Amino acid sequence: MLNRIKNFFYKILRRSEKYTQTDMVYFAHGNFWLVSGQFISSLGTFLLAIFFANYLSQESYGTYKYVLSVASILAIANLSGIDGVVTQAVARGLEGSFIIGLKTKIKFGALGSVAALAIAIYYYIHNNLLLSTSFLIVGLVLPFMESFNIYDTFLLAKKQFKISAIYKTISQIASAAILIIVLILSKNPLLVILFYYLSWTLIRFILLKKTLKKFPPNKKQDPRAVNYGLHNSLIGVTSALISSADSLILFYYFGPIQLAVYSFAIAPISQLRTLFDKIPVLALPKVAQRSMNDIKQMFWKRFWLLFLLGALISAVYIISAPTIYHLFFPQYSESILYSQVYSVSMIFILCPAVASAVITSRLTLVPKKMLYLYNIPSIIFILAMLLTIPLFGVMGIVISRLLSSASVIIITIIIWEKIKKIEGNTTPNLSA
């Protein structure tokens, strides 16, 4: 009976390829594991948010989010851009680039630790022991916590979607369970911060070791990996700095309570977006092996399908948001309107998904200077905030986020057009 059902769906997926121009069996299999893993992770995050809302005061939660926001800026030193280059290299069989990437991320991550310790000293001098101790913790674990997560990049590049999903589920559930226990036993934000960083660092280290043992990488390397990884990271510096600027501005000018309200406004959509973030990851191993002629045939069709999907998701969320907040986060009813407006960003995360996969798969073809165009959305974000915050407060930040996200679509298409010209036409193949 089970085999009949599997054969039935297999035939449907194969027949649908005539219309989607996609390997639907691959997509369904890979997407099932990616989405299911992310769904369980999001479920764990949602459950944790309920405990945060009910066990931690708005002021303490705002302080917690402030520390995480500053830490995300310091994590720039971990060179997140190396992940994309490692993905491309491993997908082409150059698995030794994974080890180089890991070592490089840890080495440069030490710079973030130095900055965190400097911030800790600053707050100690100003008699703020909570923030001083918090940033001391950040400084001790930051190079390792962020770098160890590269194991997931390796698994995805090798199309090990099932194992990636299982590891992601294990890490999310374990970390959430630890924090929930801490919240129940103590409402001390310092303990929450301590166990957050320790749990994630230890869990990622264990999973990294398991990955290396299960899939020992070969010694083939891309000699350009580190160089392109550095450039790829540099183009994201402005973005990383400004992506946390909203939390810093709210904390300093409006206080931790408004930061908590804002954080709960964008959290549901941020988690919802993660369910679709893996579309480029799933497409990457396929498009890396396809001709540009092949990709061009399906590009705009996919673009508009994803646009409509994003619009539909946004509409459903706008209708259901009041019920969600009244049921689970009654203390944050002020966040509802902000969250509804921010849900429009679902369109902007889905539309450029296909182009993002193409760009990553052809990253070494893109002129390095052109990649710095990705700093423009961050500049738009900061300029929009300066103009809108005095007029609209928290809503001004939400609007600024939407404007910044919309500009990503334009820039992605510009770079996509450039890649088409560089690679030129090739013999058509069966589409990915």
Q: What is the DSSP string of 122-182?
A: HHHHTT-HHHHHHHHHHHHHHHHHHHHTHHHHHHHHTT-HHHHHHHHHHHHHHHHHHHHHH
One domain, residues 27 and 89: yes
Q: Is pLDDT of 31 > 60?
A: no
Q: Is the pLDDT of residue 335 over 90?
A: yes
Average pLDDT over residues 217-239: 67
Q: What's the pLDDT score for residue 198?
A: 94
What's CA 322's distance to the chain center, in Å? Answer: 26
Question: Which tokens belong to 12?
Answer: 């449907």
Indicate whether 73 and 111 sit together in one domain.
Answer: yes
* Tokens, residue 183: 């919240």
Overall number of domains in the chain: 2
Q: Provide CB contacts within 8 A for 307, sequence distance 6+.
A: 347, 350, 351
Quick one: which of 105, 122, 77, 82 has its CA closest to 241? 77
Alpha-carbon span 116 to 120, nearest angstrom: 6
Specify if 431 maps to a domain: no
Average pLDDT over the chain reads 79
Q: For 22, which DSSP code?
A: S
Question: Encoding tokens for residue 336?
Answer: 């509802």
Q: Which two tokens stand for residue 193?
A: 């911060």
Do 248 and 208 fall into the same domain? no
Rounded to 5°, angle at Cα 163 from 157 and 168: 95
On whether both 135 and 245 belong to a single domain, the answer is: no
More confident site: 54 or 131 = 131
Question: Which residue range is the domain that position 201 belongs to?
Answer: 21-223
CA distance to 49, 261, 329, per residue, from 264 (Å): 8, 5, 9
98 and 197 within one domain: yes
Counted residue by residue, the chain has a size of 432
Closest by CA position to 261, among listed 243, 274, 240, 246: 246
pLDDT at position 289: 57
CA dihedral 8, 11, 16, 22 (to 10 degrees): 120
Q: 214: which 2 tokens?
A: 């299960």
Asked whether residue 13 carries a pLDDT value surpassing 50, the answer given is no
Q: Name the region of 424 (left: φ>0; alpha: ψ -120 to 50; beta: rest).
A: left
The fraction of the chain above a pLDDT of 70, given in percent, is: 73
DSSP codes joined into one string, 303-331: HHHHHHHHHHHHHHHHHHHHHHHHHH-GG
Highest mean pLDDT pick, 52-61, 96-105, 272-281, 282-291: 52-61
Comparing 355 with 193, the larger pLDDT belongs to 193
Both 155 and 257 in a single domain? no
Q: 303 and 405 in one domain?
A: yes
Both 208 and 312 in one domain: the answer is: no
Nearest CA to 374 out of 346, 415, 335, 422 is that of 415
H-type alpha helices, 256-291: 256-274, 279-287
∠ CA(324), CA(325), CA(327), 5° rounding? 70
Same domain, 188 and 260: no
The tokens 């402005």 sit on which residue?
Answer: 238
Q: Which residues contact 185 (CB under 8 A, 6 or more apart)?
A: none
Contact predicate 206/145, CB 8 Å: no
Q: Are residues 95 and 210 in the same domain?
A: yes
Radius of gyration of the chain (CA): 22
pLDDT by residue (tens digit) across 99-153? 888 888 888 888 889 999 999 999 999 999 999 999 999 999 988 998 898 888 8
- Does residue 280 sit in the same domain as residue 408? yes
